Structure 1
């Protein structure tokens, strides 16, 4: 398949459009829900950390069985159900707020259930992509998906900040509910079906399949090291994500609109990184792209704690732009690598195992952010996050990753 042929693939374009719309809505609610909790429910830093953990904790608890189950079934119907269910759950927040019945426990429950459905959707769509595109098009396909995801991270916070200021945080969450509804309709229209792994009718143990996928990732000389690096980066990034809105509002005196504007401007790095990812990976090699982007992302996190009451905007924007530039470079290269080296029958379990290893640290980072923020202060907690992020790339050294030029089709010697 020639480069650019994905523009002529209706099914890929439907998946791309679905992901683009839902990601934009997700970015809106990722800012609107914390602002709702801060402004209406007057939550503390610890409670905000628990709310952040509730969003990602399902990856720790359910990613592994989700991967094993998805390797037994077709993924598209799961994606459609997950989208429609997430839309319905989020719609309950503005309804509860309108009747004066909104509580922190309500937010915990909705965020956790949406997180559970996101586990199934994310593992399903990453495992479904190799059935939609040729192996040679994996990097291009992942680059397109990541570009629009990055664009959503630019557009979403700005839109959220504006809408929260204009119509309130609760009503703003409706935008995300509608985005999931549209995404579900687009996924429903995808016609290509992927093959389902078969075992000749023999009964299969879910536990054995989970262990098989986890062992494949942990023992793989490439995937295991990438998982450690990504896990440490996500731990540090999660701490920053939880604390930064609260730090900007309460310590720096930023308005919701300014918070959204800062995150939107900083998100330009995400778009630039996603657009350039395929070209840079070709020029420098897959391995060097992964290592270099991991180093740069840590450097971006280091700049953020320098933002203080006297001078904050330059450090916040520079740090977030550098981090944002690096993340899509890292993700596009490593996700394409994961998909290329994994047998089809293990795709669901591989993606789920990586999500478990990588996203579980996000939950732990959210909890750590709340605890450290309460005990030592938000700025001190941001310093801890920056140190962890700055050291994450060391997990890739003395492994085959830096030597990779192209996507391998089998384990390197």
Structure 2
């Protein structure tokens, strides 16, 4: 029993985990409120909807490598705190602009660009701070706890968000997310963590970025895992774009049933995250990651086979359940592996490098899928999605990750 409680027995990790859980639920509320605000209240055109979606991810492509370098130059706790404050202010501006009657699409895009910029620094710091809060031997377990919170937010958050949107209206509901970031900042400000003193002020930013890239793409096992993950994000960005069109339009899935579909994903993600430490300990993190990657193309084959019948709808739920289980099983093992195999002085750059490219690939996948559905239809686009998921699995399976249980 002590093995299970080890990370949470540390007061700093418990505080950090609580902050992450609160902000995850706030994010889930905004995931419901933002589309309602954009589509129904601001009456955005399809192109404007795409611009709003892209605005949150563009800063990752522009600032990702720089944020990683500074996450290694500066103390990470202050970065995490101020990034949360910045996100709270950015989101808080949206309901204020709405209530004063001046909110327009371009203003929303500006606030989301600012939100995304603060998020780039925040995620670079948060993923790099965790190894200072728990022993490296407990990183998979600690990441599993964080994944459980995310899965719970994905399961319950949409229902909470829908209720708040109905009660308060979409713009006001976003205040809940802004407040969650302020609580996140307050909790993380009280963390007791020993961080190394900042390095010399005169540094070569280009050389530091190059150092992060070299560690990420020249390491024996991290390099193929990074490549596999980039391809996975390309496939997943396309898959989730096709899913909404395929399920709601081609299969005739009702809106409430689509919400249940996402809830099933959240529930099985929670199950996967709960068993991830034990599976990783038994198989090794490398082999666990490969097993999960091999499950994704199977899940999307099931999606492609679904028909506009009751049996087809059931098949869709089975597919999303498998997708969620694989995601929950994989993520904590992958994050723990990266954190455990990267020197502390490189963590910020390595984490930011991966996240920057991953988010860019996801955005590209969504854009390509949208165009492909219009040109060749959703069924054929799904076949392409399956092929790309299979390529991600193959890259991992043929890498040294399979050679040893500990992935060394």
Return the TM-score normalized by structure 1. Answer: 0.89
Structure-1 residue corresponding to 2:66: 65
How far 1:259 moved relative to its partner? Answer: 3.9
Take 2:314 and 2:245, find their aligned partners in 1: how far apart are those partners?
18
SS at structure 2 position matched to 1:7 = coil
Deviates more, 1:251-260 or 1:31-40: 251-260
How far 1:79 moved relative to its partner? Answer: 0.8
SS at structure 1 position matched to 2:272 = helix
Structure-1 residue corresponding to 2:17: 16
Pairing 1:148–2:145 present = no
How far 1:61 moved relative to its partner? Answer: 1.5
Q: Are 1:46 and 1:373, in contact at CA under 8 Å, matched by a contact in 2?
A: no
Take 2:306 and 2:47, find their aligned partners in 1: how far apart are those partners?
22
Take 2:54 and 2:252, find their aligned partners in 1: how far apart are those partners?
25
Take 2:232 and 2:45, find their aligned partners in 1: how far apart are those partners?
25
Q: Deviations over 1:310-343 (max 9, x none)?
A: 4564243222221111112222111111111111
Q: Compared with structure 1, are the counterparts of its residues 202 and 124 closer, same or farther at alpha carbon in structure 2 (3 Å cutoff)?
A: closer
The alignment's C-alpha RMSD in Å is 2.5
Take 1:107 and 1:243, find their aligned partners in 2: how far apart are those partners?
26
Take 1:31 and 1:247, find their aligned partners in 2: how far apart are those partners?
20
Residue segments in structure 2 that go unaligned for 5+ positions in a row: none
SS at structure 1 position matched to 2:330 = helix
SS at structure 2 position matched to 1:8 = coil
Deviates more, 1:320-329 or 1:154-163: 154-163
Q: Deviations over 1:30-68 (max 9, x none)?
A: 232123323234445554343332222222211111111
Deviates more, 1:304-313 or 1:97-106: 304-313
Take 1:90 and 1:303, find their aligned partners in 2: how far apart are those partners?
38
SS at structure 1 position matched to 2:8 = helix
Q: Are 2:75 and 2:198, in contact at CA under 8 Å, matched by a contact in 1?
A: no
Deviates more, 1:201-210 or 1:156-165: 156-165
Take 1:161 and 1:121, find their aligned partners in 2: how far apart are those partners?
27
Take 1:247 and 1:101, find their aligned partners in 2: how far apart are those partners?
36
How far 1:96 moved relative to its partner? Answer: 2.9
How far 1:12 moved relative to its partner? Answer: 0.6
Q: Deviations over 1:260-316 (max 9, x none)?
A: 333123211110010000001111222210100011123223333455554564243
Q: Compared with structure 1, are the counterparts of its residues 248 and 398 closer, same or farther at alpha carbon in structure 2 (3 Å cutoff)?
A: closer
Take 1:19 and 1:192, find their aligned partners in 2: how far apart are those partners?
16
Aligned residues: 406
Q: Compared with structure 1, are the counterparts of its residues 306 and 40 closer, same or farther at alpha carbon in structure 2 (3 Å cutoff)?
A: farther
Q: Deviations over 1:221-253 (max 9, x none)?
A: 211111121112212222333454566566666
Take 2:381 and 2:42, find their aligned partners in 1: how far apart are those partners?
23
Return the TM-score normalized by structure 2. Answer: 0.90
Structure-1 residue corresponding to 2:406: 406
Structure-1 residue corresponding to 2:210: 211
Deviates more, 1:334-343 or 1:110-119: 110-119
Structure-2 residue corresponding to 1:388: 388
Deviates more, 1:241-250 or 1:328-337: 241-250
SS at structure 2 position matched to 1:392 = helix
How far 1:382 moved relative to its partner? Answer: 4.6
Q: Compared with structure 1, are the counterparts of its residues 202 and 89 closer, same or farther at alpha carbon in structure 2 (3 Å cutoff)?
A: closer
Q: Compared with structure 1, are the counterparts of its residues 57 and 17 closer, same or farther at alpha carbon in structure 2 (3 Å cutoff)?
A: same
Deviates more, 1:94-103 or 1:209-218: 94-103
Q: Compared with structure 1, are the counterparts of its residues 398 and 386 closer, same or farther at alpha carbon in structure 2 (3 Å cutoff)?
A: closer
Structure-2 residue corresponding to 1:81: 82
Deviates more, 1:270-279 or 1:282-291: 282-291
